[in-house]
Structure 1
Amino acid sequence: MSDAHYGMHKRKGYSSDEPYPEIKVLGKNKYYAELLMDDYSGVASEFTSVTQYLYHDFDLDENYRELSEMWINISITEMLHMEILAKTIRLLGGNPIYRGSSSSCGAYWNGGFVFYGDSICSRLKSDLHLEYVAIENYYKDISIIEDPYIKAILNRIILDEKVHVGLFKKAIEKYCK
């Protein structure tokens, strides 16, 4: 994926300024592909994040433009992560269909993975938790995977997730006093 492609999807203030590494792998590895399926579309995944944050935006009162902008732009960044993971899974010999691995016992992704919430605060707190779980899962994968290219990809995605943690913390401070 070219820098121009990344640039088209990067949102200033909603992702790290660090460049993304080239998407490549040492070779086919179905085990690694299967590990990444949870990050891609498992219970606490990029796909869950995208759908959860978009739902939170769609169900938002017009008076919360700042939150709307945040949820939409973070979703776009998470979509880029999905694309990166899908391409990595393919290179590893996997098929990036919408299902998890161990987190969902291999089941297909479903809307039950989304925390819909009934208030801005419950949603923001759930979103923050989802980011923490994603970061934890990426670090777990990094400790297992012995491919430096995949490790670089996951470490770069973590940088964006840490930006999202900061944004959600700031929003919680502002809206959940």
Structure 2
Amino acid sequence: MKLSSLVFSDPSPWPPIEIVSQNERYAAAMLSNIGACNSEMSAISLYIYNSLITKNFFFEIAECFHKISMVEMRHLNAFGELSVLLGADPRLWSRQNGRMQYWSPSCNHYPTIIGELVTNALNGELEAIRKYQAQAQWIDDCKIQAVLNRIIADEQCHVEIFRLILAELNGEALIQSAEYIEAEEESELTEDEYEPL
């Protein structure tokens, strides 16, 4: 695997971080993107951890996690800026069952076997894409939709990288199994993260 041949961020230009008007429901959705269990903060913290523990034996994979974490930091910042514009306090928190809950490192799973570690990351990217696509459908603000779609494009790059890594490590069978999240690793998402009340 040649790091120089990988695309960590979609080459399309970023739309401006703007909104049409303030909306409490949209603000709650953006907060969930920065501080829920399925969030940019979870991805960043997990990828930093993954980079640290793989560095000695899988240097190129560690570098991939490091580079992807930097892209996720840009996503975190974009969602944070949207939260502010929408009238929310951009702490690392989200609305869960009608209450604000702070993000916690316990949101993440921490497998240490290399194949499981990459599979876990792939599943997280697929779940993030599903979440952002759902938000882009119900949020009726073309400017927020543009940002969501631009972030989805980056996440799709990350999916391809993790699939490539898995193909090199373990072959096609593991890639197919990675598309399904095991029962014990089911998402802890609530409806608030997709379409807040």
**TM-score, normalising length: structure 1:** 0.89
Unaligned runs of 5+ in 1: 1-11
Letter in 2 for 1:112: S
Tell me the residue number matched to 1:138. 132
Cα distance in 2 between the residues matched to 1:100 and 1:129 = 21
User: Which structure dedicates a bigger proportion of its chain to strand?
Assistant: 2
Change (3 A) 1:57 1:153: same
The letter of the residue matching 2:115 is: C
Structure 2 alignment gaps of length 5 or more:
1-5, 172-197
Equivalent of 1:25 in 12, 15, 19? 19
TM score, norm. by length of structure 2:
0.80
Question: What's the counterpart of residue 112 of structure 2?
Answer: 118
Contact 1:44–1:134 (CA under 8 A) maintained in structure 2: yes
Percent of aligned positions with the same letter in both sequences?
A: 27
Q: Deviations over 1:71-130 (max 9, x none)?
A: 000000000000000001100001110112348963110011111112111110010000
Aligned residues: 166
1:42-69 Cα offsets, whole Å, 9 max, x none, are 1111100000011011112413111011
Contact kept? 1:89, 1:95, Cα under 8 Å: yes
Q: Could you say what secondary structure the match of 1:79 adopts?
A: helix
**Which aligned runs of 4 or more in structure 1 are off by greater than 6 angstroms?**
none
Does 2:100 match 1:109? no
1:93 has 2:87 as partner: yes
- Equivalent residue letter for 2:147: I
Paired amino acid for 2:154: D
- Paired with 1:78 and 1:87, the residues of 2 have a C-alpha distance of 14
